[in-house]
Amino acid sequence: MQERAKGALVRARFTKLQDIDAPTAFFFSLEKSVVKRKQMLCLRLPEGKVTTEPSEMRKHAVDFYTDLFKADECDVDSAAELLQGLPQLSSEEQNTLSSELTFDELTAAVSQMALRSRLRGLCLLEMSHSPPVVVSAYADDINIIIQGHTDVQELKESLALYEKASSARVNWGKSEAVLVGQWRVGDIPSLPGGIRWGRRGIKVLGVQLGTEEFQKQNWEGVLDKVEAKLSKWRWLLPQLSYRGRALIVNNLVASSLWHKLIVLAPPPGLVKELQWCL
């Protein structure tokens, strides 16, 4: 039992037995749920048939990822144009990269991590007294602000150049657009990829941003989800230490709320109701 508990602790990402307090059946089921999420139980084949046959699933998975990650030719001239003007490493700097990292270099790299706090961002019209807005760009999630037809045309040209140079493609099906402010019908720019303008808001990094009514979606069902998570542990409460209870609250409840609470103010009374549940 002790060896089995140690294995389950590692696979369930817990490091100490007292964090859970008891090697119960519920505790061991955590391990099973983690493993189950990583399993492929069935796959849909190209012809539409759903198969559970291991050999067919393996073949389809291999074919899918072979096609997904196959080498695709990039346009050399487009790549040169895209990289034009970017700083390049000298031969000496290239040799330095292959050498061991020094303490001074590590210190300088860590110091640059504070750059985010020094970003000034941009100020929006009619919001001069509000904090500046910083728009972060990620490899698979980027926000673009446009003001008219000219900006859309420049965006299309930039994306076309990037696609030729990198063989990457924009997934327009997962792209959204929101119209901010007052626009005349003839001035509203047409968007690429069949995207339509929205008026209420958009979802950015898991948070609904937009009108007051639209942002209320961030808090719909939050209390019910918290109560559902906590209800699974009520029968174990008599065996849990104070530290064990705190771990459950932090790992299962608070962690799912911090992201939204940093960005938005919760509805009146929600925090009190959450505290009452805890």
∠ CA(123), CA(201), CA(157), 5° rounding? Answer: 70
Q: Which two tokens stand for residue 42?
A: 């069935």
Is 192 a domain residue?
yes
Closest CA to 136 of 257, 264, 265, 263: 263
* Sign of the CA dihedral running 205, 146, 139, 166: positive
62 lies in some domain:
no
Burial of 275 (0-12, 13-18, 19+ CB in 10 A): exposed
pLDDT per position as a tens digit, 134-147 = 676 776 778 888 88
Check whether residue 102 and residue 192 sit in a common domain.
yes
- Rounded CA-CA distance 147/208 in Å is 22
- Rounded Cα–Cα distance for residues 193 and 228 (Å): 40
Q: Name the nearest CA neighbour of 176 among 150, 138, 141, 133.
A: 141
Query: DSSP letters of 53-97?
Result: -HHHHHHHHHHHHHHHT------HHHHHHHHTT-----HHHHHHH
Between 248 and 218, the more confident residue is: 218
pLDDT at res. 153:
93
Q: What pLDDT does 21 receive? A: 46
Q: Domain ends where: 198, 213, 246? A: 198
Instruction: Tell whether the model's pLDDT for residue 107 goes beyond 60.
Output: yes
**Side chain identity at 116, as an amino acid letter?**
R
Domain-located, residue 24:
no
Q: pLDDT category, 161, cuts 50, 70, 90?
A: very high
Same domain, 172 and 210: no
Average confidence (pLDDT) over 80-100: 86
| Per-residue pLDDT at 29 exceeds 70 | no
Q: Let me know: does 51 contact 45? Beta carbons within 8 Å.
A: yes
What domain range is 225 assigned to?
200-278
Question: Is residue 70 a part of any domain in this protein?
Answer: no
Single residue among 198, 233, 249 that ends a domain in this structure: 198
> Considering the chain, what percentage of its residues have pLDDT values greater than 70?
79
26 belongs to a structural domain: no
- On whether both 215 and 192 belong to a single domain, the answer is no
The answer to whether position 34 is within a domain reads no
**Residue 124: C-alpha distances to residues 134, 149, 152, 181 (Å):** 11, 20, 20, 11
Rounded Cα gap, residues 206 and 200, in angstroms = 16
Question: Does residue 232 sit in the same domain as residue 255?
Answer: yes
Query: Average pLDDT of the chain?
Result: 79
Q: How many domains, in total, are found in the chain?
A: 2
Q: Are residues 269 and 238 in the same domain?
A: yes
- Is residue 158 included in any domain, yes or no? yes
Q: How confident is the model at residue 182 (pLDDT cuts 50, 70, 90)?
A: confident
Same domain, 204 and 178: no
| pLDDT above 50: residue 168 | yes
The answer to whether residues 102 and 174 belong to one domain is yes
Among 18-22, 178-182, 247-251, 265-269, which stretch is predicted with the lowest mean pLDDT?
Answer: 18-22
Q: Are residues 269 and 192 in the same domain?
A: no
